[in-house]
Structure 1
Amino acid sequence: MTTTNLSLPETGSLRAGPFDLGYRIEGSGTPLLVVGSAVYYPRTFSDRLRQRIKLHFIDHCGFAPAHAAYTLDDIGFDVVLGDIERMRRHLGLDRFAILGHSGHGYMALEYAKRHPQNVSHVIMVGTGPSHSADHMALADSRWGEMATPERKAIFDHAMAAFGADIAARPEERFKSLLIRLGAKSWHLPAFDAAPLWRDVTVNNPVFDHLWREVFRDIDIRDGLHRLAMPVLLALGQCDYLVAPAETWDAYRRNFPDLTVRMFERSGHTPQLEESDLFDETLLAFLAR
């Protein structure tokens, strides 16, 4: 599950408030904007995809170096969505597909609601309907019922070390948590995700606010009537981080055009875990 770059990428940064948002452009073909980290996410997509897709990886403020102190007003959801639009203009993108993985799926979907004239397709990968208490409780129940004893033992061993991670590197708490949650995140429960996170900047207050508050309370049904473009939802069978796939059933009728694809040998990141099948699925979806 590794990738290498086919050619030298185009990289740069954009000043947005107190943050320097990085970007990285790789590949050729259909433009696809990937919201999240311009350092982490290029490591999760295949070289094959880069032969057909021009991938524009962009930071949001959760992954961007800060050149000044910031407050909650600088990291709100509206600010993040505004930064995506600012980056779109900076990169000269007129019409493109947008992809968000995990909580970034909400960013991709909400951006498309606000700027439907710019977006041809929306792809949400490893995203639950919300991070509400009810949805997270269902994720926990599924873990308790479906995870093997081996997977649970690996999880317990990893989480026992999380306290030491925080003590040693408190500024990387969010990153350390995601690495330690590997047994809930990957089809292979002992997979070490640490190399994927190497040199990735993480601003804990941004994730605390967005993941624990905004995405807890979000109702993705708001504004879905404005979507004319198709939406692809890619889920992993072994993803225990988000609500179970069946929780999406209550939302399907609100989407004008929704395709749901389950990846049987993936956890939270099917674009890396089943890259061949993911690429095939994505390319077919974008060709619609």
Structure 2
Amino acid sequence: MWQDRRADREIRVDVGGHAVVAYEFGSGPDVLLCLNGGPGLPCDYFREALSFLAEHGFRVVAFDQLGCGASDRPEDPALWSITRYVAEVEAVRAALGLGRVHLTGHSWGGWLAIEYALTHPQNVRTLLLQNTAADLPHLMSELHRLRAALGPEAVAMMAAHEAAGRFTHPEYQAAITLLNYRHVLRLEGDWPAPVLRSLGDWNMAPYKAMQGPNEFLYIGNLKDWTRLDDLPSLHVPALITVGAHDEQTPACATRMAERLPQAELHLFAHSSHMPFYEEPEAFDRVLLSFLTRHRAA
């Protein structure tokens, strides 16, 4: 069950002359290295959802990626690339002496986890891909399908605002808000405090550079990113989780599962993009079962 708790340790890591702040919970030989979504989003929402694993003998490590949270926030746009973020993950892993890790990524963090695993396969014990995709052109086609459910008038309105660059127009934002409630976090009442903290401190510079203006339009430098055909080379146990109403849809998850040699796929029927808050007890059981079965010998 997710919890709002202080990290046992906070560590500053130098990454290319910039400070990145990491958070550790628990101890032990099995390390879960967590790559949260965004980009530009502090890791609060993800680390608080997974910190419970420290009570089961896992060392849980998360960090604020460069440009957000307690980490440095340089303004050089050349820094906002997946290649540089892969180097950042490796710098954190090496500096903290984590060894081979259970690598988990959520949303954008899943793209980063895939890219890291393909670049440094020797450092990955298992791969946990949460609410993510390996083929962004296919994902964009899925997002257009979700947008179409708003109706033809709304679709035409959104297209007109996007063509004119009017991403902050109230009419356009109303459609995005509805899509967020349908496909990002389907909860009645207030959203969990860790989610609100992360959203309230979002640095949109890396997000806009790499993804786009919102969750339902990909026009940044990652818009053509795909690693689907490279997944068969990853011969590690993999867990793929997805919500039935997820913005990064079950079709995206199925494509990954079909190509990863040792993949398990779990769909959460009552969730969208954050099953760890929408169905926390069911999510925790699935995650803990997978990690327990693949503990270090």
- 2:108 aligned to which of 98, 103, 110: 103
CA-CA distance at 1:191 after TM superposition: 4.5
Deviation at 1:18, TM superposition (A): 5.9
Deviation per residue, 1:137-184 (Å, 9 max, x gap):
423424654x8xxxxxxxxxxxxxx9599xxxxxxx9xxx88992343
Residue 187 (structure 1) aligned with residue 186 (structure 2): yes
In the superposition, the TM-score normalised over structure 2's length comes to 0.74
- The total of aligned residue pairs comes to 259
C-alpha distance in 1 between matches for 2:193 and 2:211: 21
Counterpart mapping for 1:239-258 below 5 A: 239=246, 241-242=247-248, 244-258=249-263
The structure-2 alpha-carbon separation of the partners of 1:62 and 1:211, relative to structure 1 and needing over 3 Å to count, comes to farther
Question: Aligned residue for 1:273?
Answer: 278
The amino acid that maps onto 2:250 is: A
Whether 1:283 and 2:288 are equivalent positions in the alignment is yes
2:145 to 134, 138, 141: 141
Which residues of 2 match residues 169-180 of structure 1 at below 5 A?
A: none
Correspondence list, 1:43-54, <5 A: 43-45=48-50, 47=52, 49-52=53-56, 53-54=58-59
Residue of structure 2 equivalent to 1:230: 237
Any residues of structure 2 matched to 1:29-68 within 5 Å, and which?
29=28, 30-36=30-36, 37-45=42-50, 47=52, 49-52=53-56, 53-64=58-69
Which residue does 1:198 correspond to in 2? 197
C-alpha displacement at 1:128, in angstroms?
Answer: 2.8
Deviation by residue 1:195-241 (Cα, 9 ceiling, x = unmatched): 523266433221122224344211122432431211111001122x2
Alpha-carbon distance in structure 2 between the residues aligned to 1:178 and 1:84: 32
Aligned 8 A contact 1:100 1:125 in 2:
yes
Partner SS state of residue 270, structure 2 = coil
Letter in 2 for 1:23: A
Distance 1:179 1:65 in 2: 30
Q: Find out whether 1:21 has 2:20 as its counterpart.
A: yes
Aligned pairs (5 A) from 1:116-127: 116-127=121-132
Give the secondary structure class of the aligned counterpart of 2:211.
Answer: helix
Show structure 1 runs of 5+ residues with no match.
148-161, 166-172
Q: Describe how 1:76-87 pairs up with structure 2 within 5 A.
A: 76-87=81-92
**Paired position in structure 1 for 2:210:** 210
Distance 1:228 1:181 in 2: 34
Q: Is there any run of 5+ residues in structure 2 with no aligned partner, and where?
A: 37-41, 151-166, 213-219
In structure 1, what is the equivalent of residue 162 of structure 2? Answer: none
Give the conservation status (yes or no) of the 8 Å contact 1:182–1:190. no
Distance of 2:121 and 2:177 partners within structure 1 = 32
Match of 1:112 in 2: 117
How much does 1:250 deviate?
4.2
1:284, distance to aligned residue in structure 2 (A): 2.0
TM-score by length of 1: 0.76
CA–CA separation in structure 2 for the residues paired with 1:70 and 1:163: 22
CA distance in 1, matches of 2:75, 2:106: 25
Find the aligned partners of 2:7 and 2:66 in 1 and give their Cα distance: 25
Whole-angstrom CA distance in 1 between matches of 2:7 and 2:130:
26
Q: CA RMSD in A?
A: 3.2
Deviations 1:36-55 (A, max 9, x none): 334332232363x3211221
Q: Distance in 2 between matches of 1:223 and 1:246?
A: 18
What's 1:151 paired with?
Answer: none
Q: What corresponds to 1:155 in structure 2?
A: none
Contact 1:131 1:216 in 2 (8 A): yes
| Counterpart secondary structure, 1:25 | strand
Answer whether contact 2:241 2:268 (CA < 8 A) is retained. Answer: yes
Comparing 15-24 with 75-84, greater Cα deviation is found at 15-24
For the residues of structure 2 that align with 1:8 and 1:67, how far apart are their CA atoms? 19
